[in-house]
Amino acid sequence: MAAGGGGGAWKVAYADFVTAMMALFMVLWISAQDKKILIATSKYFQNPFSSPMVDHSGIMPFNKDNQQQSSSEGKKDDESAGKEKPTDKDKQIQLSFLNSVAADFYRLLHLDENLDQKPIDVQVTSDGLRLTLFDRAQHPLFEGDSADFTEWGRFVMQSIAWTIDRHHFRVTIDGHTKSGLEMKKEDYGLWELSSDRANAARRALVHYAVEANLIERVTGYADTRPLEGQPPTADANQRITLSLTLTAKNRAAKMAELRGLGSSGRAGDTASTHP
């Protein structure tokens, strides 16, 4: 019997071997899974007696509610970080920075910011800059009553694109026209012209340097919004307005950078820039 039976030790050894192989297979399989599945698996074994998870995604079940809750909590944290009340010193640092950018822009285009009939007007706002580009006879932005930029217009757009890309501003673009323009095409009016010019500005910015996702809105207003104090037929109403703003995240990063530099910048050189 001893020679023929051999005992059952080999069965135990074989069972241990199969168990080890299964464990190895499970480890290799889990390590190759998506991060979300790993998180869901970890949570399941941490609390295996919780209610069954629903809304499965992929092979392993994934708790969508937990994901949404974590996402919303992270979003709240970002928003609360961006909504920290700025101090008076922070406001002064931001104002100095924006004035410096505005002054640099005038210098880049070789313009005197004190001229009354500037082809470009740069104003500092509470959250960024407002650039008004005039289509004046002395410095026309466009070729006639079209949406094609002149050589000057292309130079201006290239300079603006460099500024936006450097400081990562978000942009809205508004196109305006004066009243009384006689359009050559019967089915092409002021609405089409103002919209096409605003879109031409968007295309130029993206072409030169600006990331497309930084353009938030492009709008044509035709002759419905003349400049304050100007009659609707005034040439000054032939313009494009670009509003540049910093996101909360980028503003916080910029403020941290400026504090590290001592916030001096060139504030003294930019005192004459429009507040």
Q: How many Cβ atoms from other residues are within 10 Å of residue 167's Cβ? A: 16
> What's the N-to-C CA distance of the chain in angstroms?
105
Architecture label for domain 88-270? 2-Layer Sandwich (3.30)
What HEC string does the chain produce?
CHHHHCCCHHHHHHHHHHHHHHHHHHHHHHHCCCHHHHHHHHHHHHCCCCCCCCCCCCCCCCCHHHHHHHHHHHHHHHHHHHCCCCCHHHHHHHHHHHHHHHHHHHHHCCCCCCCCCCCEEEEECCCEEEEEEECCCCCCCECCCCCCECHHHHHHHHHHHHHHHHHCCEEEEEEECCCCCCCCCCCCCHHHHHHHHHHHHHHHHHHHCCCHHHEEEEEECCCCCCCCCCCCCCHHHCEEEEEEECCHHHHHHHHHHHHHCCCCCCHHHHCCCCC
Backbone angles phi, psi at 63, to 5 degrees: -80, 100
d(CA 73, CA 181) in angstroms, rounded, equals 53
* Confidence at residue 84, expressed as pLDDT on a 0 to 100 scale: 60
Burial state string for 99-118 with b = 16 or more CB within 10 A and e = fewer than 16: bbbbbbbbeebebebeeeeb
Side by side, the strands of the sheet bearing 120-124 are 120-124, 128-134, 239-245, 170-176, 215-220
Strands 239-245 and 215-220 come out as: unpaired
d(CA 245, CA 254) in angstroms, rounded, equals 12
d(CA 52, CA 49) in angstroms, rounded, equals 8
58 CB contacts (<8 Å, ≥6 apart)?
34, 37
pLDDT digits (tens, 9 = 90+) for 215-257: 999 999 999 999 999 999 999 999 999 999 987 777 777 777 7
* Res. 112: pLDDT tops 70: yes
* Confidence at residue 251, expressed as pLDDT on a 0 to 100 scale: 73
* Res. 74: pLDDT tops 50: no
Contact assessment for residue 7 and residue 38, using Cβ atoms and an 8 Å cutoff: no
What torsion, rounded to 10 degrees, do the Cα atoms 43, 49, 54, 60 define? 50
* Res. 140: pLDDT tops 60: yes
User: What's the average model confidence in pLDDT over 257-274?
Assistant: 51
Domain assignments of the chain as residue spans, ordered by start: 8-82, 88-270
* Confidence at residue 255, expressed as pLDDT on a 0 to 100 scale: 76
For residue 213, which of 165, 174, 254 has the smallest C-alpha distance? Answer: 165
Lowest mean pLDDT among 7-21, 27-41, 99-113, 180-194: 27-41
pLDDT digits (tens, 9 = 90+) for 151-210: 999 999 999 999 999 999 999 999 999 999 999 888 999 999 999 999 999 999 999 999
d(CA 211, CA 202) in angstroms, rounded, equals 10
User: What's the average model confidence in pLDDT over 61-67?
Assistant: 46
